[in-house]
Structure 1
Amino acid sequence: MRRIVVNTGSSVLKSIFLALVFLLSLGCKNNNTNKDHQFASFFNAVQDSMVKDTIKPKYLEAKIIRILDGDTVEVLYGELPIKLRLAHIDCPEKRGKQPFGNKAKIALSDLCFGQMVQIDSDKKFDRNGRLIGVIFNADGLNVNKEMVRLGMAWHYKKYSDDMSYDLLEKEARKNKVGLWIDPNPIAPWAFR
């Protein structure tokens, strides 16, 4: 008996493999229901693994084309401009001239403006219609966390339970980095 080894790494090969398995299943039917059941189980397992492999990742690749403020950017996804709100953080307001509002915008610009970035998003939108996500810049740096580490943002606990942001905020406060130089900084949600 000849053994056939099939590399199912590409989706084309997987499709061919599945078609072959299906055709073999049609030709190999016999009265032995145990073998038929085993073959059906195998076929379903292969089919399930193919479905998992074809699910698109949740990362979007886009170019940062505009920085609106410290926690909002505009990205170009294909030819579609999309406003993106950085998840887990809240930055000082540019409108109303909250202290560090412009500095937060500049810090965000320095981290990612003009770059092709990856965006981790669950495809949820805020009440203003902005996509919510985490930006990874061209160097692979988590921009959202970096804004907190630089003292340019608060961990937005009302909408985030990721405590790694809280630890970064505590470290920035302790070291009096960025907006934490101010003895009494006002959180953006209180400033609004």
Structure 2
Amino acid sequence: MKLHMYIKKVLIATFLLIFVVGCGTIENMGTNGTSETEKPIEEDGNEKEAEQQEKEIESENHNKETGTQEETLEGAKVSRVVDGDTVKVIYNGKEETVRLLLVDTPETKHPSKPVQPLGPEASSFAKERLEGKQIELEFDGPARDKYDRLLAYIWVDGEMFNQTLLEHGLARLAYVYAPPYVHFEAYMKAQNRAKDNELGIWSREGYVTEEGFYYQNEEEKSVNNRDKEPEASNKVSYDPNGPDRDCGDFDTQQEAQKFFEAAGGPEKDSHRLDGNDDDGLVCESLP
């Protein structure tokens, strides 16, 4: 009987010891398990958060470098395309002239130069892509030139039109007056691609120069015209001091321009041919 009671006490003591030790082990395992399990999760979360922040910073820096942040773009609407690199826009409630930044297209309406090769193509291209469109203006450097025209990059339908002109060989990279410009490197690459593929202006050897565009037959034509028609180049259709004239009286813009200058333009515009923009170019809607 005594042996039986002794064995019973030993078993109870053993059971209690196992129970106490087991609880301690489980408690320790729970504490350690929580610590060891949560730590990697926490580290993974921090790594992902840091990675996301890094991407956001890179994106912001990229936008600053490329100038494509929304806050740098200002809305406008194209009211009229003057030529390949000049447009009229409604901006801040009034009509303004915008000269496309860093690009130069061949002339079509210069008061003292004839229509240059690929000038009409550049103008038609601009009308097709821009006329009547809602656009965004991006400024870079001085906002205006000496003629009080806005100097800007034009964004339309998600593309930068200045660069598009260069890529199609319809303009040269020019008028780099206040570097560095945000898009200069991209423009240079676009021009080089057009040049390598001999597109547009680059298909004519010697046509593009540092000063502009040189059409080798222009001087010869001018000399021949003077020889054949000595008075034709200076002939004015109407008496500048005669009755009032409007753009409908002339067949071409060049004809109207000669009359305008003979009548005292651009200093005065007694026949009101220059419209409201006072840019020295009259009857710009004429061919």
The residue that corresponds to 1:106 in the other structure is 124
Question: Which string of whole-angstrom CA distances, capped at 9 and with x for unpartnered residues, describes residues 88-122 of structure 1?
Answer: 11111112211111111111112211110011114
User: Are 2:155 and 1:133 equivalent residues in the alignment?
Assistant: no
Residue 57 of structure 1 aligns to a residue in which SS?
helix
Select which of 85, 91, 96 maps to 2:99: 85
The residue that corresponds to 2:252 in the other structure is none
Cα drift, residue 157 of structure 1: 5.4
Higher RCO, 1 vs 2 (CA within 8 Å, ≥6 residues apart): 1
The residue that corresponds to 2:197 in the other structure is 175
User: Are 2:86 and 1:72 equivalent residues in the alignment?
Assistant: yes
Cα drift, residue 81 of structure 1: 0.3
- Do the aligned partners of residues 188 and 61 (structure 1) sit closer, same or farther apart at CA in structure 2, a change above 3 Å counting? farther
Higher-Rg structure is 2
Which segments of 5 or more consecutive residues in structure 2 lack a partner in the other structure? 1-69, 215-287
Report the structure, 1 or 2, having the larger helix content: 2
Contact 1:91/1:188 (<8 A) preserved: no
Contact 2:168/2:200 (<8 A) preserved: yes
Contact 1:86/1:132 (<8 A) preserved: yes
Provide the C-alpha distance between the structure 2 equivalents of 1:104 and 1:117, rounded to a whole number of angstroms.
Answer: 18
Provide the C-alpha distance between the structure 2 equivalents of 1:183 and 1:105, rounded to a whole number of angstroms.
Answer: 22
Which segments of 5 or more consecutive residues in structure 1 lack a partner in the other structure? 1-55
Percent of pairs identical after alignment?
A: 27
Residue 85 of structure 1 aligns with an amino acid whose one-letter code is R
- Do the aligned partners of residues 155 and 167 (structure 1) sit closer, same or farther apart at CA in structure 2, a change above 3 Å counting? same
- Do the aligned partners of residues 152 and 188 (structure 1) sit closer, same or farther apart at CA in structure 2, a change above 3 Å counting? farther
Please report the TM-score for the alignment, with normalisation by the length of structure 1: 0.64
Report the structure, 1 or 2, having the larger strand content: 1
Contact 1:90/1:188 (<8 A) preserved: no
Count of residues paired in the alignment: 136
Contact 1:92/1:187 (<8 A) preserved: no
Provide the C-alpha distance between the structure 2 equivalents of 1:60 and 1:70, rounded to a whole number of angstroms.
Answer: 21
User: Are 2:184 and 1:166 equivalent residues in the alignment?
Assistant: no
Please report the TM-score for the alignment, with normalisation by the length of structure 2: 0.44
